[in-house]
Amino acid sequence: MSAQTATELSDLLLKQWNRDPANLLQILIALQRDLNHIPNEAIRYLASELSLPQSVVEGVIGFYTFLHRQPRGHYDLLFSDNITDQMQGSRDRAQQLATALNVDLGATSEDLGLSLGYTSCIGMPDQGPAALINGKTLTRLSKERMDQIADLIKQQTPVDQWPEEFFTVEDNIRRRDILLDTVLDKGAALTSYLSQGPDKLLDEIERSGLRGRGGAGFKTALKWRFCREAKGEDPVVVCNADEGEPGTFKDRVLLQSYADRLIEGMTLCAAIIGASQGFIYLRGEYRYLLEPLQQELQKRRDSGLLGSTIQGHASLDFDIEIHLGAGAYICGEESALIESLEGKRGIPRIRPPFPVTQGYLGRPTVVNNVETFIAAAMIADNGADWFRSRGTSESTGTKLLSISGDCARPGIYEYPFGTSIQTILDDCDATNTQAVQVAGPAGMTLPASEFNRVIAFDDVPTGGSFMVFDHSRNMLEAVQNFADFFVHESCGFCTPCRVGTSLLKKRLEKVIAGHATGMDLEKMIEIGHLMKTSSHCGLGTTAANPILDTIEKFPLLYDERLKTTSFEPAFDLNKALDEAREITGRTDPGAYVEGGGV
């Protein structure tokens, strides 16, 4: 691609995105898509046009996994690498393709124009193994399908001519309760708002007990009230559709099949807090949902439910823009998400100030999860008592769970809060279950002795991920997968998390290789506690959980592999002389050292 074309394209995108530096990330994502990388010419041009230092543009590109300065192949294939994908054979499929096409995993083949690699969970564990090809989602990658794909790439068939069924994403809703079963007529929540007014409606939402569905469980009415009462001008409504927690896919289903309710919920929030601008921050992995969502927005505009004078009321003026993410789990953390919305690196902010007073561009901002907005809209229409008819006193209503792993019926299950793990396992036909990982890698690892515990904010809280492992699985592989995930996703801003995640990964590898001693376990616990108490954001404070949890609840996993010595080196001492021996050809006694500890 010539320099001029990159500049021309940048110019076009600048126009489309109002020459606003806050839209830098969106411009870069579009460039990456069209040019397979972001050329230096474009970097220089964007920097000068947006009056940003070039280093800032480069810094943004460097932060996001899906942005590249070196060209990717015109087939850019990333296999989802969550443990549940691996359990479905993702690694074998990746290897199968690499072998069939004679390319290296993790590299770009110039001949075929193919880049092959892995990426964090892309939210398809109910229909894996899954992958992204040029940002489009491929599901159910069977061996046969992999062969077909190898042929398509050999024949250089463009991706938009690949068979439709490769890209089918099923909802897989297996259990519905009041949220998914109750009909919400278009505009019903807004009608309720117009008849009741903001104060009464906020009281109603408060009485419903609705708490955030994204993980932290903050009271939604309180958040909206804070924002409504905040001093700043021009509040903003943001939907967190980043859904990066490995093993979670309930927002995917809501965005795919309940988008209208989401928009209704966001509009309701806007009416209550007085916002005219809204964003859906859609994870880059859900790129396939972008156009359908845009169509949903347009439909609402066409029916007078979005845009200026909503339902004929001049005071109701609200519209929504979709921003894409670019492969960074940390951007699900609300303050990092806001940074990302502003076109920057997704580094979590120092809080306070909280987003409700100073969020997007310093304006008061409500950030809520997809499911939270939908629940709020349903409460506006059906009332607090309807919502409270399910759940417990502290955890009212229902929760969508994304169930994957070792069970016959993976998919979406809506349960009243207070449902036990065992009931859920029975419903999804999980047998011989060894452990359940609830709330993703940052959550809890539960052994069978704790299957009587219940899904609730005050017992087993969850954003929705529910991964099942039966007795055929080596749980340490799951723990290692989670440890790798956190090393990759740590934003690197603070030392306890940036360094701690890597230290834990290394020690865990030592355990798995059978070289660790009791001292290594002690160190892991010490590092884990340090990360918990001194990290800057929720990623670092929870990243050690899978290790700490399994050391405590599955001690045999570790004990079986420990050496009885008091100390073992971190690496194989003698093997570390391999290269030098090869280079010099030496075989004398001095060319070897004894392994083991002292």
Nearest to ligand SF4 of 430, 539 (CB atom): 539
- Asked if 539 interacts with ligand FMN (CB under 6 A), we say yes
Counting Cα atoms < 13 Å in the Cβ hemisphere of 455 gives 32
Nearest to another protein of 408, 598 (CB atom): 598
Residue 379 to residues 36, 316, 353, 418, 499, Cα–Cα distance (Å): 45, 20, 29, 20, 44
Binds 213: which of ligand FMN, ligand SF4, another protein, none (CB < 5-8 Å by kind):
ligand FMN
Q: State which amino acid sits at residue 433.
A: T
Pick from 376, 483, 524, 537 the residue near ligand FMN by CB under 6 A: 537
Contact region with ligand FMN (CB under 6 A), list: 170-178, 211-219, 300-308, 376-384: 211-219
Residues within the interface to another protein (CB under 8 A): 519, 566-567, 569-571, 573, 576-581, 583-586, 588, 590-593, 597-598
Cβ of residue 3: shortest distance to ligand FMN, in angstroms? 38
Would you say 374 and 241 are in contact if contact means Cβ atoms under 8 Å apart?
no
Cβ of residue 32: shortest distance to ligand FMN, in angstroms? 22
Binds 492: which of ligand SF4, another protein, ligand FMN, none (CB < 5-8 Å by kind):
ligand SF4
Helix (H, G, I), strand (E, B) or coil at 318: strand
Nearest to another protein of 107, 576 (CB atom): 576
Nearest to ligand SF4 of 489, 568 (CB atom): 489
- Asked if 215 interacts with ligand FMN (CB under 6 A), we say yes
Contact region with ligand SF4 (CB under 6 A), list: 101-109, 200-208, 448-456, 530-538: 530-538
Contact region with ligand SF4 (CB under 6 A), list: 153-161, 439-447, 450-458, 534-542: 534-542
- Asked if 225 interacts with ligand SF4 (CB under 6 A), we say no
Please give the Cα distance from 568 to 102 (Å, whole number). 39
- Asked if 536 interacts with ligand SF4 (CB under 6 A), we say yes
Binds 491: which of ligand SF4, ligand FMN, another protein, none (CB < 5-8 Å by kind):
ligand SF4
Pick from 304, 307, 538, 595 the residue near ligand FMN by CB under 6 A: 538
- Asked if 535 interacts with ligand SF4 (CB under 6 A), we say yes
Cβ of residue 371: shortest distance to ligand FMN, in angstroms? 7
Cβ of residue 80: shortest distance to ligand FMN, in angstroms? 16
Q: Where in 307-336 is the site for ligand FMN (CB under 6 A)?
A: 330, 332-334
Please give the Cα distance from 567 to 515 (Å, whole number). 9
- Asked if 273 interacts with ligand FMN (CB under 6 A), we say no
Nearest to another protein of 372, 501 (CB atom): 501
**Residues whose CB is less than 8 angstroms from the CB of residue 352 and which lie 6 or more positions away in sequence, other chains included:** none
Q: Is 23 exposed, middle or buried (0-12, 13-18, 19+ CB in 10 A)?
A: buried
Task: Look at the block and give the residue holding tokens 């009271």.
Answer: 219
Please give the Cα distance from 542 to 229 (Å, whole number). 32
Among candidate residues 257, 258, 252, 220, the one with its CA nearest the CA of residue 237? 220
Q: Is 442 exposed, middle or buried (0-12, 13-18, 19+ CB in 10 A)?
A: buried
CA dihedral 146, 151, 154, 159 (to 10 degrees): -70
Cβ of residue 568: shortest distance to another protein, in angstroms? 10
Nearest to another protein of 106, 571 (CB atom): 571
Would you say 361 and 550 are in contact if contact means Cβ atoms under 8 Å apart?
no
- Closest-by-Cβ residue to ligand SF4 is 540
What are the strands, taking DSSP E only, across 395-476? 398-405, 411-416, 433-438, 444-447, 465-470
- Asked if 442 interacts with ligand SF4 (CB under 6 A), we say no
Provide the 10 A C-beta neighbour count for residue 142. Answer: 12
Q: State which amino acid sits at residue 216.
A: A
Cβ of residue 146: shortest distance to ligand FMN, in angstroms? 29
Would you say 393 and 211 are in contact if contact means Cβ atoms under 8 Å apart?
no
DSSP character for 111?
Answer: T
- Asked if 339 interacts with ligand FMN (CB under 6 A), we say no
**Residues whose CB is less than 8 angstroms from the CB of residue 493 and which lie 6 or more positions away in sequence, other chains included:** 347, 348, 536
* Residue span 354-373 as binding mask against ligand FMN, x where in contact by CB under 6 A, dash where not: -------------xxx--x-
- Asked if 348 interacts with ligand SF4 (CB under 6 A), we say yes
- Asked if 261 interacts with ligand FMN (CB under 6 A), we say no
Would you say 542 and 437 are in contact if contact means Cβ atoms under 8 Å apart?
no
- Asked if 29 interacts with ligand SF4 (CB under 6 A), we say no
Q: What are φ and ψ of residue 453, in 5° steps?
A: -70, 165
Binds 569: which of ligand SF4, ligand FMN, another protein, none (CB < 5-8 Å by kind):
another protein
Please give the Cα distance from 250 to 385 (Å, whole number). 24
Based on DSSP, count helices (H) and strands (E) in the chain, helices before strands.
25, 15
Structure tokens at 191: 């009608």
Helix (H, G, I), strand (E, B) or coil at 337: helix
Q: Where in 318-347 is the site for ligand SF4 (CB under 6 A)?
A: 330
Provide the 10 A C-beta neighbour count for residue 18. Answer: 8
Nearest to ligand FMN of 134, 369 (CB atom): 369
- Asked if 494 interacts with ligand SF4 (CB under 6 A), we say yes
Helices (H), 102-216: 143-154, 178-181, 188-196, 198-208
Please give the Cα distance from 360 to 233 (Å, whole number). 11
Binds 314: which of ligand SF4, another protein, ligand FMN, none (CB < 5-8 Å by kind):
none
Find the helix or strand (DSSP H, E) in which 239 lies. strand 236-241
Interface with ligand FMN: number of residues (CB under 6 A): 22
Q: Where in 217-256 is the site for ligand FMN (CB under 6 A)?
A: 218, 240, 242-245
Helix (H, G, I), strand (E, B) or coil at 577: helix
Cβ of residue 153: shortest distance to ligand SF4, in angstroms? 36
Interface with ligand FMN by CB under 6 A: which residues? 212-216, 218, 240, 242-245, 330, 332-334, 367-369, 372, 537-539
Interface with ligand SF4 by CB under 6 A: which residues? 330, 348, 490-494, 497-498, 535-537, 539-540
